[in-house]
């Protein structure tokens, strides 16, 4: 199962960061958001934070398409409302394109591949 990684920053405000974390606690995320994630072929997702930096990990089906997920999200008013709410807490990474939020991360090291290369 492929694993994808993305990064995004939060506004550097402890109160906003705490509120963002509350929105992501079990039971707080709107059911329609969970449904849209699962319907897109995401099997598991985690968000980790250090200071104001977020890292998102997604395990996805083999046929997962970020473009199809984005198109479905664009046509879903509830997802758009969630994204607008989350935007109050988030800020783009330096170098992001206008409107770009979660930026894909590039893997630069794999222990299993390095062990095989011996």
- Identify the pLDDT of residue 71: 96
Prediction pTM value? 0.91
Residue 81 — φ and ψ, nearest 5°? Answer: -65, -40
- Beta-bridged to residue 53, according to DSSP, are 9, 50
| 4, 60 contact by CB (below 8 A) | yes
pLDDT of residue 113: 93
Cα(40)–Cα(45) distance, integer angstroms: 12
**Alpha carbons 47 and 89: distance in angstroms, whole number:** 14
| Tokens describing residue 18 | 């705490």
pLDDT of residue 117: 85
Confidence of residue 118 (pLDDT cuts 50, 70, 90): confident
Is 30:63 a contact under the CB 8 Å cutoff?
no
β-strands 53-60, 103-104 pairing: unpaired
- So what's the pLDDT on residue 102? 96
- What pLDDT, in 10s, does the model give residues 15-62? 999 999 999 999 999 999 999 999 999 999 999 999 999 999 999 999
3-state SS assignment for residue 40? coil
What span, in angstroms and rounded, lies between the C-alpha atoms of 58 and 2? 8
How confident is the model at residue 9, as a pLDDT? 98
Evaluate whether 81 touches 88 at the Cβ level (below 8 Å).
Answer: no
What would the pLDDT profile of 53-106 be if each residue is shown by its tens digit? 999 999 999 999 999 999 999 999 999 999 999 999 999 999 999 989 999 999
């Amino acid at each position: 199962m492929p694993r994808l990684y993305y990064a995004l920053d939060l506004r550097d405000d402890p109160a906003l960061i705490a509120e963002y974390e509350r929105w992501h606690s079990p039971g707080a995320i709107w059911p329609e958001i969970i449904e849209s994630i699962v319907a897109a072929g995401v099997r598991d997702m985690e968000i980790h934070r250090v200071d104001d930096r977020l890292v998102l990990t997604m395990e996805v089906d083999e046929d997962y398409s970020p473009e199809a997920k984005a198109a479905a999200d664009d046509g879903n008013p509830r997802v758009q409302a969630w994204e607008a709410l989350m935007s109050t807490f988030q800020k783009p990474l330096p170098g992001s394109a206008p409107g770009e939020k979660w930026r894909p991360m590039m893997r630069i090291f794999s222990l299993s591949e390095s062990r095989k290369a011996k």
